[in-house]
Structure 1
Amino acid sequence: MEEVDNIIIHSLRQVGCDIEEDVDSLKHFSTELIIEAAVRCLDVIHPGLGLPHSLPDSMSARFRVGASIAQACKNLGYSGDIGYQTFLYSGETDIRRVFVFLIEKLPKESEKSIVEPIGRIGLLEKAVSETVKKQLTSPWLPRYCRRRGIRWHDDGTWSREGCGHHQPFISCNLDVPKTANSKELSQAWREYYVHHLPLVTEQVSNRHQLLPSLITLNAKGLLTPLQQAHGVTPNWETSGISQQLTECITRSLDGCSGAPGKESTLTALHIQDNDKNRRKETNSRFVLSEKLQFTKRREKEEEMQLAREEMERLKQCLDSLQLDVNKLTVKLSQITEEKSHEERALRIKEEEQTVKKRTYDLLPDADSNLSALQASVESSAQTLVVLAAQWEKHRAPLLAQYRDAREHNSNKASESQKKVDALRNLREKSRELGEEVRHKEQLHSQLVTEYEKVTKDINRSAYTRRIMEIIGNIAKQKEDIDKVLKDTKELQKEINNLTGQLDRSFTVADELIFQDAKRDETARKAYKLLATLHSDCSDLVQMVEETGATVREIRDLEEQIETESAKNVGANLDRISADLHQMKQESAALTAQLNAKS
């Protein structure tokens, strides 16, 4: 277990546990360290659980933390017996099993995949998030350190901040989807908005026009309903925008620059009519395409209607023909059945006619034919008697041989049953040992894989030597297991052979002495002594088997005693008593507080 503990400790240090260098075994882990290691592993496996990394002072809170960690392990698929006592009053074996399970659940390097955004919107969102994150993590910089409002970062990139070099407020019309009455839009406009309408960043000729264009678009959306409500027809087609929008934008930008009336950044306000003309041309072009599509769709529907009517007519003809075919098939089957009946009746009549013809041929010479028939019957009876005698001669030895073979087969069947039972037991043991070997090989392969993925700044030769030692030990254990299995099979085979020889020898001796015991008094005593010897030997064999079973039980009990001793029941009992005393004190303090409040 030393190598396993070293691997567990190394993995726990990699997930952020502060384990001292002199700790080389799990039995040196304190309760606080066990809680911290388990919570850090759970945070890596399933982030966001929110479990504390240290034990609180209150005993009830400690029990809740231990129960929460145990429940988290169960949710991950831990099948062993686990509860708050596993972490608060832990045994070395139980905590080793839990840590092995948690370390196996840690995500591997190959499982850490990064999902890259797809499409223009995803790439734009990624760029915006990266820029915002960079600006939020950057320290504050005075204005005079940002030339023309540009700030340079350590990685060589730059971003525009503050009011540096002012740009003229030049906007252009932006074409955006009409979402107010989306249900009235045609399919052509929907396809255009989804697949062909460029992004707002692509509709401006200069990147400095993007922000003014968005401000103008939002102002149109806010002011147009107000003007329509007051009976004023909005006019956005002139070279400038309304005075209300101009004043609003001027106040906003002048307030941002800190110098209203002086050094105004609003140098020009233009709205380009070319974009409106382009939108009108696009509308007319799509209306024309929609009409063409409607005409083509109508022609196609007429063709489909004609094809549908033709297909319906052909279907009716096919149904009528299929009905005629079914009627003719039924009629053909009836005719075929009648023909088979008539042919069968014809064959019966032909056979009767043949018998009658032969009988009529024998009638002219009836006496001589009867005498010949009588002679043939007598010769057949004599032949049957001779065959019966010959069969009796062969039957007696075959019957005796059959009885001997059946008796021998019954004895052999009992021996075979014993061998089958022994072989079944050996197969069961072999299966258990094979599963144990496979489990160890799987654990070895996992450890080798994890070793290949860890950082290489550690002493590789030491870990390589340890891994080679583990591999050598596993190979040696496998050879020993194979050798034990082979010896067990040979021993069981020898035992079965000796048991069979003993049973056969006893049977033969019993038959021989029993025959003489009917006539000789000495043979009768020998027969009694033989039966007594056989019974005593059976008792001895049974006692040896019981002794072996008792030794195995003693060995199992000793292993259980060692396991229970490793659990530190005495120390855990002392800790439980101290915690119980502390809980009683806390309960008494809470009761006193409640009484004081009441």
Structure 2
Amino acid sequence: MEEVDKIIIDSLKHLECDISDDIQSLKQFDADMVVAAISICLEAVTPGITFPKKLPPSMSSRLNIASNLAQHIKDLGFKGDMGYQTILYCNEVEVRRVLMFLIERLPRETIKTIPIEQTGYVPRIVKIIEENIKDSLRQMWIPSSLLSSGVREYDGGYLVNSQGNSCPLQTENLNIPDLKNENEDITIIIPELKHYWIHNLPDVTKQCSSRKLIPSLLFKDNEFSENSSLSGAIKKQSQNVIVDEIQSNVKISLLPEDVKNSKKVIVEENVEKSKENKIVDLLNQLEDVKSKYVTLHEVIKNNELQLSQLRIMKHEEQEVLKDTLSKVKLKTKTLAVINKEENMAKLKNIVEIASDRLVELANQWNEVQTPLLDEYRSLQNTLTTEETKLQEEQLKLSNIKETHKKLIEDLREKSILEQSLTQNEIQKDAKHDETARKAYKLLAALRDECSCILKAVNDLGLAERESRNLQEQIETEKSKDFAVKLDRVCSDLEQIQKETQLLLT
């Protein structure tokens, strides 16, 4: 069995199974190694299906994986006892039988292509995401209400316990070269500005931290956009208000005290009224813009509907055009064939050439056929002669068998007559001679004892055979390691009880 184990381990290593050099026999295989070996063999036998290479810590998922592998092995035609217990609580004999079955089912040229690992930041992130998703799918599913940060029904709604995983959107103003200037032509660029952009302006990645880079590129600060007309109007109005306030303050400072107080009140009232009027105007402008946006949105929807209808009509017209073009081509071909003597002459030439070709092929076939027919006839003649010879030999053998049977019957009758004659002679001698009588009695007793001895020898042989069978059964039962299996089952039961208690708590 050591040679068989070496062959199995060598074939598994050729399939790129992770087996260390210290393992020399199947006794050293544990459940994880058995699952990995069976999964790799099944993937080689049934390409396109992936199987897990490791057992998860949860017992329910272990049972599911083991039963799935056992079912696939049964589907391949395995006739032995196969179940999840064969994989989880395996012994040497069962593992050897299963792996030999799978290795026999492997294709002749099993070439496992080594995947080329892509280098780079994005492929590594994608690989990590795939591995995390696979690990999460292998884990046992737990309802959301049992998790510490799950969702629970509470007072007609849903309660979510958040652990503060969200982070605020923090942005910074980035200095990016902008060619879109309303007052200047795009093609005209100041050389000094271009030199500043190329040599002095830092990169976008260096203008802020890595955490704020993507939000800063996607969004502006938590203010209005600089391109917005509303924000520009508000800034201009605020600047004008500040200038007016400064001018009024300067004028008031040159007046006497009484006039100053009255002027201050009047100026403040005028400023407030102007602010209110400007805000009202801006709100009216905003409403007008909103109404224009709504109307434009409706117009766009109507135009999209009309465009879709036009596309459908265009597609239908194209189909009709294709059909008409095919019909026109067919009619042009038929018109080209009809009413032309050249085409008729060409067709006649083609028919004559085909007939000549058929005659040539018939002659060639006759040349090939005649020697084959002669050979066939000669073989038939030889076959008939051989059949006649065989029939004659069969008749001779049957005659020999009959004579042999007659000779055997004659010899049997002669032996019976000789036995009866010898018994009669012995009995006659025993009547007249005492020594002959004693010898006859001793011969009869010896015959009885010999029959008893033969019977005892046969019984002894049967007993030895039964003892050998029992020893083989004992050895097979010992090789199954029921004690080790029972220990594993007990430990798995304890683990299942712990998992159920965790779920209940």
Which category describes the TM-score, using the shorter chain as reference length?
Answer: 0.3 to 0.5
After TM superposition, the score normalised by the length of structure 1 is 0.35
After TM superposition, the score normalised by the length of structure 2 is 0.41
